Structure 1
């Protein structure tokens, strides 16, 4: 594979609403490359011939080899908005940087390079390719269609291992572990990748599949992108049983129910599969959208849960697991009850938060009702972002009495989550700062 540094123009075109870590201060470099190679159609039966591609990758890595952990995290960039977004990086960045991992974001799908209308109902203008939007920077990029997206992504997992070439984006680093990550549509793509690529042939040492639907992404076609909406009508599929590398599935409340319907494909944990379902979380949340919340147009505040802390923990567990360590802790599933309808509903506590699942302080010492379920969403995007609802002041007083007592409950819940292996001790101060004593009447 050949690489070319991308510079000039309008700068790197990669959506991210949440603030990024100060990479320069952390001793990291942030660069973008054109990557040219050939890909095969490895999923489905398209009969498509080998095709040439020139896609883009974004690379964030320690500048000095001594600061590198040996681990490269390769993200399948998310195209649900009609352009590439580093959805998982926004959740994992703090852990990536403090651990010394390198991150490679891959424009694996057709829409990320050639443009598209997206599937989440957020208008980003008429579909345009990267080359049309910014010819000075992106001229020459070309994606042959999503018949090849799985092999394009896999080839990136393979190429990051051999860093000997002088023009390699990770030149000077010694790579020992390569992990694949993706959220939402990208998680559905990784589900298909894990199930369709034979064990032993994948270049990845582990997978973090975050917020998948019951089905995986389709095979894809030559010269076009995959319509992700079709996923919700596809046959549900579990993760294959004969895994030879660890697969870590992390799900929100939205993913288990709604039209994602992950509950249909729940399966037991194994020594190569672990599933966590997080209480008080939604498919996307305030951490991901940041100060742009109001532009979503949702009538209620979006979910303010703490899945970012759980995902950072999941990445650390996955790296250790992929390197031969123990599997992550086992977690209870979110509790469901049958109401006689086509789908179950969540079992809720006396305040309205869900029972079961991976627990964080915001649901075990609650000051708000945090949900991944929107009863009557006004748009697709609002369905994905869940809700945050107030708990009446008198109920908070009855539960805690004083702000000091609330803060004690919250600290105890944080320490319990750390002891259970669902939150990192490294994040304790940030978790404690996420408490809301101001909501308790003085």
Structure 2
């Protein structure tokens, strides 16, 4: 749970590695409980510039948080920041935030009209990871709405993309936006084991010496708190004197619901962000709530307004979705929309909302009746993040991707080939040159967690013999597919070794 310093090399990326805590597992998994490819023409560009942010109050980031037991964060993948050339600072963000009220109904086109409602003081936590050498700073800051579904602040977007953030020299900012992470609250789903007793207590109770001064007025104010942190960071606060050029808002799972609401209702008022990185959204947005209340994500899943991202804003959206997200309780297929000059959607075949890479050693402790998904979703996500950053830097949009084939109806279902592998979507070598069937569908033991973990089911020796006349043939085809995936823009060249590491030649006779 503590801010990690381990021997994990940030330049390496094995399919499933690193140490995780139980609370980190909850923070990553429970978020979900609540919740060859066509390339774009290189000649087609869409000019994307820096946001002309509106004026307004900014958070005060002058006060560092120190003492106690050190930085507390539910982390899925520990990173040796010192080895990576990064430093970590923690601040109290203080100010007076506004809540919002919708004027009129929330429509499915996302063109929502919000107005400010009440106001309340806040004092929350902001965590900053930045290059120690100022000359390495890219000029881009990614601001992650920390995920709280497991009862603690967790940083799944950092966990998924940190290799690329570090390679680029970006600054990462994590914001304790929701109240349960700060002052505690009801935990919808827990996970047993060391650290689980901290879920739902909040930073104030977990480490009073460090976080006892924090206050949170309720999740209805979280959107403006995020805005005020972004304004402060754009002005150079909390960055060690580094001046950002572009600021990206990011969120995964429950936090992706928040990104939908922010983009459709708040961004038109603030223009606080230059781009949005949205990972595993549901069909609706995070609801607005009154003072002192936690966001009603269950209500969003059951009866929230299905909505696309509005299409009349300057800030581009890069949306990446796993196979699980489409037809599970998140049901994001209902909110599909066409790509345009400000929107890209990548749906990744053979992936699950959470997988073996994110769970590490904890994956072996979860019995879903079949091994959980071990697909390379994180590799595609890093490529998507770079594509968004490049879009902002150069105006060159990300490549377009085919959608996963889905049979819609009363109950939607992913269309599959005879082996059970999804058709369509962004594809990777483990999907196109398989020795196992990677699926976003759950195993036979349908616990709440297992619904979101997908499966990895080995193909039989007889089927492997039908597919590949020899081990050499398999390896040749896998390497060719890996090169095509990289060439098509869905995995980065820097992650070639990690992608090839998913090959399993030992499954075939030599």
* TM bracket, shorter-chain basis: over 0.9
Which residue number in structure 2 is paired with residue 192 of structure 1?
Answer: 261
Q: Secondary structure at the match of 1:323?
A: helix
Which residue number in structure 2 is paired with residue 175 of structure 1?
Answer: 244
Rounded to whole Å, the distance in 2 between the matches of 1:402 and 1:81 is 46
Deviation at 1:188, TM superposition (A): 0.5
Cα distance per residue 1:333-378 (max 9 Å; x no partner): 001235xx51232211232110100011110111111111116553
Deviation at 1:390, TM superposition (A): 1.1
Q: Secondary structure at the match of 1:230?
A: helix
Higher relative contact order (CA 8 A, sep 6+): 2
Cα distance per residue 1:21-47 (max 9 Å; x no partner): x21112110222211111111354797
Deviation at 1:172, TM superposition (A): 2.2
Rounded to whole Å, the distance in 2 between the matches of 1:295 and 1:148 is 38
Q: Secondary structure at the match of 1:25?
A: helix
Q: Which of 106, 109, 112 is matched with 2:178 structurally?
A: 109
Rounded to whole Å, the distance in 1 between the matches of 2:92 and 2:385 is 27
Rounded to whole Å, the distance in 2 between the matches of 1:319 and 1:291 is 32
Alignment check: 8 A CA contact 1:121 1:379 kept: no
Q: Which of 139, 143, 146 is matched with 2:219 structurally?
A: 146
Rounded to whole Å, the distance in 1 between the matches of 2:188 and 2:366 is 14
Q: How does 1:350-365 map to 2 (within 5 A)?
A: 350-365=418-433
Alignment partner of 1:408 is 2:476: yes
Taking structure 2 as the reference length, the TM-score comes to: 0.82
Which residue number in structure 1 is paired with residue 325 of structure 2?
Answer: 255
Alignment check: 8 A CA contact 1:205 1:246 kept: yes
Q: Which of 145, 154, 157 is matched with 2:230 structurally?
A: 157
Q: How does 1:223-234 map to 2 (within 5 A)?
A: 223-233=292-302, 234=304
Which residue number in structure 2 is paired with residue 239 of structure 1?
Answer: 309
Structure 1 residues 118 and 296 mapped into 2: Cα distance closer, same or farther (>3 Å)?
farther
Deviation at 1:431, TM superposition (A): 1.1
Q: Secondary structure at the match of 2:99?
A: coil
Q: Which of 45, 56, 71 is matched with 1:12 structurally?
A: 71
Q: Which of 99, 104, 118 is matched with 1:41 structurally?
A: 99
Where has structure 1 moved over 6 Å in runs of 4 or more?
A: none
Which residue number in structure 1 is paired with residue 488 of structure 2?
Answer: 420
Which residue number in structure 2 is paired with residue 336 of structure 1?
Answer: 406
Taking structure 1 as the reference length, the TM-score comes to: 0.94
Q: Secondary structure at the match of 2:486?
A: helix
Rounded to whole Å, the distance in 2 between the matches of 1:270 and 1:428 is 29
Q: Which of 125, 130, 133 is matched with 2:206 structurally?
A: 133
Alignment partner of 1:289 is 2:359: yes
Which residue number in structure 2 is paired with residue 312 of structure 1?
Answer: 382
Q: How many residues align?
A: 435
Cα distance per residue 1:69-103 (max 9 Å; x no partner): 11101101111101111011111000000110110
- Unmatched tracts of structure 2, length 5 or more: 1-58, 104-114
- Unmatched tracts of structure 1, length 5 or more: none
Which residue number in structure 1 is paired with residue 138 of structure 2?
Answer: 69
Alignment check: 8 A CA contact 2:151 2:202 kept: no
Which residue number in structure 1 is paired with residue 9 of structure 2?
Answer: none
Q: Which of 303, 306, 309 is matched with 2:373 structurally?
A: 303
Q: Secondary structure at the match of 2:242?
A: coil
Alignment partner of 1:394 is 2:453: no
Deviation at 1:8, TM superposition (A): 2.5
Deviation at 1:19, TM superposition (A): 3.3
Cα distance per residue 1:158-212 (max 9 Å; x no partner): 211111xxxx320221211111111000000000100112537321110011101
Deviation at 1:2, TM superposition (A): 2.4
Alignment check: 8 A CA contact 2:76 2:156 kept: no
Which residue number in structure 2 is paired with residue 366 of structure 1?
Answer: 434
Alignment check: 8 A CA contact 1:205 1:245 kept: yes
Alignment check: 8 A CA contact 2:67 2:210 kept: yes
Using the TM superposition, name which of 152-161 and 76-85 deviates more.
152-161
